[in-house]
Amino acid sequence: MSDRDLSAAVSSEAAGGSQGRPKLRRCIPAGLTVEPVLFLSMFAMALQGPLVTQYIWDRVSADLGFNGTKQQGCGHLNGTTDPLQQEVETLTSHWSLYINLGGFVVGIFSVMLLGPWSDSVGRRPVLILPGFGLALQAAIYLVVMYQKLHVGYFLLGRIISGISGDFNMILAGCFAYIADVSNRQSRTFRVAILEACLGIAGMVASIIGGQWREAQGYINPFWLVFAVNLVTALYVYLCVGESVKEKKPSRLFTPRHYQSVFRLFTVAGENKRRGKLCLYLLAFLLVVTVHMGAKDLFVIYELSSPLCWHSDLIGYGSAAEHLTYLSSLAGLRLFQLCLADSWVAEMGFLSNIAGLVVISLAATTPMMFTGYGLRFFAMATTPIIRSKLSKLVDEGDQGALFSSVACVEGLSYLLATGIFNSLYPATLHFMKGFPFLLGGLLLLIPAGIIGIIEVCDQKPMYSQFSEIS
């Protein structure tokens, strides 16, 4: 039986938006598209991320003979820090930098190739390939843990995952898919739903990961990571219909794909499209750099004195961090009733900055969770920027656009790991939370960019109430 025989109509929203919308296979409920793909992939990533950092910490501590701060009056601010603990923190952050750096550099070139290719051959191939790559990465991590190999072998897994597109390609493919099946009016909220899937998956995985590691160690959770990535690839193959309406054969290894991304930012368009694309991408670069840079340091910050959290508290903290996706989705839906998207984004910046400032000064568990709480609306900015970018390009260039966005995300990860993981050990002697304070200050730049574009735009997209008035 052919795919057409198996497919069903998308949702009433997508069907109403335009004729000829893509059809989805019947194993997906009405209105559901690639949300399960992003949920499963993010679940695996969120389960894996903190555990990798803790594993590196434990291995480095064992190699250096460091028994931890729990027996050394942890939590008392006496103005001194164990030099051995500082060495463990430094080596852990540096190895995190090396491992992430290798994967992200390789992934940038893969995503720029696969994204434009998907505009011709469809989104499904570029969603299946990264799933297998991430599963292979988890398998290599398991070998390292079983054989107690040096943590540097994690880099091999990251490079292999980067060749297949890594998690960034899944992000690019899913967001391009939503751009294919949604109309301009609903796109911001549909993108926000995708990002909320990131939050829900991350929250569940963080709670499970902390408790599971405390009870059974590292290996069993990584078997689940391996299985979930395989299930994700299988789910796309069996259940996800194609969203590209007119597929055509296209070679994968050709410079034309890179050229299509380059043309987006060199060919002038109407309404100052080229300038807006560059400015929005710069804002996106800074937002994701701060977000990922701070996120990478949260676990190290919480493991060391004066907080000295155990795995269960680290899991709850990571869950609180991912809960911002859900609270941001609810707030976005509410504030869109009376504010333009740009001003909703400004509120997100304010929430994020306030939370990072408090976290930079956190010396107790309640204060750390207060910082997490203040960031309740922090994730409203990225779906708005993605939606604005999507509306600036033609329907046939969505894959090229979101591959460039994914490359910017890869560059953001590169900058985040390079700047924040290097800055953290360098500032331990005078202010442990300085990287978080710096992140809050950096967010003032994208906040200014979005505000200026909105003010200077001759045809701002006001909300319904503004149009009525």
Tokens matching residue 323: 């809960």
The pLDDT, as a whole number, for residue 208 is 86
H helices of 122-153, in order, are 124-147
Report residues of the chain scoring pLDDT below 70: 1-31, 68-81, 269-271, 458-469
Token pair recorded at residue 101 = 């750096």
* Residue 390 to residue 176: CA distance in whole angstroms: 8
Report the largest interatomic distance among the alpha carbons of the chain, rounded to a whole angstrom: 72
Q: Is 122 left (phi over 0), alpha (psi -120 to 50) or beta?
A: left
Quick one: how many helices (H) and strands (E) in the chain? 19, 2
Q: Give the CA dihedral 155, 159, 165, 166, nearest 10 degrees.
A: -10
Per-residue H/E/C for 172-219: HHHHHHHHHHCCCCCHHHHHHHHHHHHHHHHHHHHHHHHHHHHHHCCH
pLDDT at 32: 75
Least Cα distance to 207 among 126, 312, 307 occurs for 312
Which of 369, 331, 361 has its CA nearest to residue 349? Answer: 331
Q: What is the pLDDT at residue 177?
A: 92
For the chain, which domains are there?
A: 29-243+255-456 (1.20.1250.20)
pTM of the model as a whole: 0.77
Predicted confidence at residue 463, as pLDDT, reads 45
- Considering only CA atoms, which of 343, 29, 387, 19 is closest in space to residue 193? 387
Strands 7-8 and 24-25: antiparallel
CA 447 – CA 347 distance, rounded (Å): 9
Q: Which pLDDT value is given to residue 112? A: 87
Q: Which two tokens stand for residue 32?
A: 């559901």
Would you call the peptide bond into 460 cis, given omega within 30 degrees of 0 as the criterion?
no
Residue 211: predicted pLDDT: 80
Q: Which helix (H) or strand (E) holds 7?
A: strand 7-8
CA distance 106 to 86: 31
Residue 317 and residue 303 in contact, taking contact as beta carbons nearer than 8 Å? no
Which residue do the tokens 């034309």 mark?
A: 256
